[in-house]
C-alpha cells in the first residue's frame, strides 16, 4: 500500500492559536486552564476550563459568512487554513480534476452544541413562537465543518465527519490515512474541532462526577496519574493535519514532518462511560496499530497517553500499555495536564504534539503530577516535571471515547 506523510499542521488551542505558540507552551510545561469567561459559572460546581484565548473569527472569516458558523466550525476553518498554508498548497492553482483527489475528514464530538443551547434558550424565553435562526440546523450538525472546509477550498475528494466521542479526531486521521494508502485520494485534510465549553456541557460532565472541582487552583487541576486527581478539565479548540501520499509530496517538494505509520481502532465493549479494569481497549488499539505499522513494541519511544486525570481511566490505560509493552521502558506522558481535554479535537491536537516530538526530539512532561497513584502498574516510565530532550523515532497516540471507542495512531520519523 501507499505510504502517507504529514506535510502541514494547524492548531487553535488553549495554549496558543498557532502551532508554534502551542508547541512552545507544551515544551515549557504551561497550563491553559483558568476561570470560566464564556458564561457566568457562579452556581456551577466546576468554574474553570481550558478556554481558547484571543480568538476572533472575523479576523479570518468574512462577517457575512461568520454568522453561518458555530464556533466549532470557525475553529476548524482557521486550523485547516493554517495547515494548508503550512503545507504550501495552493488549491486555486490546481485543476478541478486534481481537486477531485483532495478530501476532508473532520471530526467533532458535540458539533454546534453552543448554537443548540442558544436557540433553545431563545425559544423557551419567548412566547412559544418558533422563531429559529435559518442557519440553526447547518450551524449545529456535526458534519458541517467537514463540508465547509471542502466548500471553502473547492475540494471534491472524500468528505465526511467521524464521531466517536473523545476518539473522534484520531478516528478521522486514521480514516484519512486509509483513504490515501488505498489510492482513493492524494491529499486529505484531517483533524477535529470542539467548542463545548457551554452551560450544558460543563453541567452535564460535572453531574457525572467527571470534572475536577479544584476551583482555587485551575492550573494545577489536571493531574493525570496523581494520587489526588479528581477529574478532567474541559478544553476546546482544533487540530489539523495535511496528510499526503508520499510520492505526491516528493514530486511537489513538500516539507515532510513525519510519516503516519499505522492506526488501530477497536471497542472495549465494556461500559457506557467507564473503561475496563483490565485495560483491554487500550491494549487492543495499540496492538492493532503496531501490527498495521509493522512495528514491534520495543521500537516505540513514547506514548502520548489519553490519560484525562480520571481515577479508573488512567489506571486502565496504563494497565493496557503494560500488557503490550511489558518491561520495555517506553516513555509515557499525558499532555492533557496542560491542554485540558479537547474532547473530539483531542486526538488531533495530540497528534501534532506527537509529530513535533519526533521533529524536535522532545518528550513533553506530564505537569502537576506529584505522587503517583499506588494503584498504577509499577515501573512505568511516566515523564513528569520537565520535558525531556532526546531522539524520538516512533510515537503512539492513544484516544478513547464514551461508548468504548478506541483509536490509536503511530507516527514515525520519515526515512
Q: Please name every residue paired with 225 in a beta bridge, in sequence order, or none if there are none.
A: none
Give residue-wise pLDDT tens across range 128-140.
Answer: 899 899 999 999 9
Owner of C-alpha cell 514491534: 296
pLDDT for the residue 185: 98
Closest CA to 370 of 206, 178, 225: 225
CA 320 – CA 164 distance, rounded (Å): 20
Is 166 a catalytic site residue?
yes
Class of domain 263-409: alpha beta
Q: Which residue is catalytic, options 166, 188, 242, 362?
A: 166
Q: Does domain 4-251 have CATH number 3.40.47.10?
A: yes
- Residue limits of CATH 3.40.47.10 in the chain: 4-251, 263-409
pTM of the model: 0.98
Mean pLDDT of the chain: 97
Residue 127: predicted pLDDT: 85
CB 383 within 8 A of CB 366: yes
The pLDDT tens digits for 310-341 are 999 999 999 999 999 999 999 999 999 999 99
Other Cβ atoms closer than 10 A to 56? 10
Average pLDDT of the residues in 190-213: 97
Average of per-residue pLDDT across 75-97: 97
166-187 pLDDT per residue, tens: 999 999 999 999 999 999 999 9
The band of 126, judged by pLDDT with boundaries at 50, 70 and 90, is confident
Confidence of residue 305 (pLDDT cuts 50, 70, 90): very high
Res 243: pLDDT: 99
Could you read off the pLDDT of 356-387 as tens digits, one per residue?
999 999 999 999 999 999 999 999 999 999 99
d(CA 407, CA 399): 5
Q: What is the pLDDT of residues 256-304, one digit of tens each?
A: 999 999 999 999 999 999 999 999 999 999 999 999 999 999 999 999 9
Q: Give the mean pLDDT of 65-70.
A: 96
Amino acid at each position: 500500500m501507499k505510504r502517507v506523510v504529514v506535510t502541514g499542521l494547524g492548531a487553535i488551542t488553549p495554549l496558543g492559536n498557532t502551532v508554534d505558540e502551542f508547541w512552545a507552551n507544551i515544551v515549557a510545561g504551561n497550563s491553559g486552564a483558568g476561570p470560566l469567561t464564556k458564561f457566568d459559572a457562579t452556581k456551577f460546581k466546576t468554574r474553570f476550563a481550558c478556554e481558547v484565548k484571543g480568538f476572533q473569527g472575523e479576523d479570518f472569516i468574512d462577517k457575512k459568512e461568520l454568522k453561518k458558523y458555530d464556533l466549532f466550525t470557525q475553529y476548524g476553518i482557521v486550523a485547516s487554513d493554517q495547515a494548508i498554508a503550512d503545507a504550501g498548497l495552493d488549491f486555486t492553482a490546481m485543476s478541478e480534476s486534481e481537486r477531485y483527489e483532495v478530501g476532508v475528514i473532520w471530526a467533532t464530538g458535540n458539533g454546534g452544541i453552543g448554537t443548540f443551547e442558544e436557540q433553545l434558550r431563545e425559544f423557551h424565553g419567548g412566547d412559544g413562537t418558533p422563531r429559529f435562526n435559518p442557519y440553526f440546523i447547518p450551524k449545529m450538525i456535526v458534519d458541517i465543518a467537514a463540508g465547509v472546509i471542502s466548500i471553502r477550498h473547492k475540494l471534491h475528494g472524500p468528505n465526511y465527519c467521524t464521531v466517536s466521542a473523545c476518539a473522534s479526531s484520531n478516528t478521522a486521521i486514521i480514516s484519512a490515512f486509509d483513504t490515501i494508502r488505498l489510492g482513493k485520494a492524494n491529499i486529505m485534510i484531517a483533524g477535529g474541532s470542539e467548542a463545548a465549553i457551554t452551560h450544558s456541557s460543563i453541567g452535564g460532565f460535572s453531574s457525572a462526577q467527571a470534572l475536577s472541582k479544584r476551583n482555587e487552583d485551575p492550573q494545577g487541576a489536571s493531574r493525570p496519574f496523581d494520587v489526588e486527581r479528581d477529574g478532567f478539565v474541559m478544553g476546546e479548540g482544533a487540530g489539523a493535519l495535511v496528510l499526503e501520499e508520499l510520492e505526491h509530496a516528493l514530486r511537489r517538494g513538500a516539507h515532510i514532518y513525519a510519516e503516519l505509520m499505522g492506526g488501530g481502532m477497536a471497542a472495549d465493549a465494556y461500559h457506557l462511560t467507564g473503561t475496563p479494569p483490565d485495560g483491554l481497549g487500550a491494549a487492543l488499539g495499540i496492538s492493532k496499530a503496531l501490527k498495521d505499522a509493522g512495528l514491534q513494541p520495543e521500537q516505540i519511544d513514547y506514548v502520548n497517553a489519553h490519560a484525562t486525570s480520571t481515577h479508573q481511566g488512567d489506571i486502565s490505560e496504563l494497565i493496557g500499555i503494560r500488557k503490550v509493552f511489558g518491561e520495555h521502558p517506553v516513555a509515557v506522558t499525558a499532555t492533557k495536564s496542560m491542554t485540558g481535554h479537547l474532547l473530539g479535537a483531542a486526538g488531533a491536537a495530540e497528534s501534532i504534539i506527537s509529530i513535533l516530538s519526533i521533529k524536535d526530539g522532545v518528550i513533553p512532561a506530564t505537569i502537576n503530577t506529584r505522587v503517583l497513584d499506588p494503584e498504577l502498574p509499577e515501573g512505568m516510565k511516566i515523564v513528569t516535571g520537565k520535558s525531556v530532550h532526546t531522539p524520538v523515532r516512533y510515537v503512539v497516540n492513544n484516544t478513547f471515547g464514551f461508548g468504548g471507542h478506541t483509536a490509536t495512531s503511530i507516527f514515525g520519523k520519515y526515512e
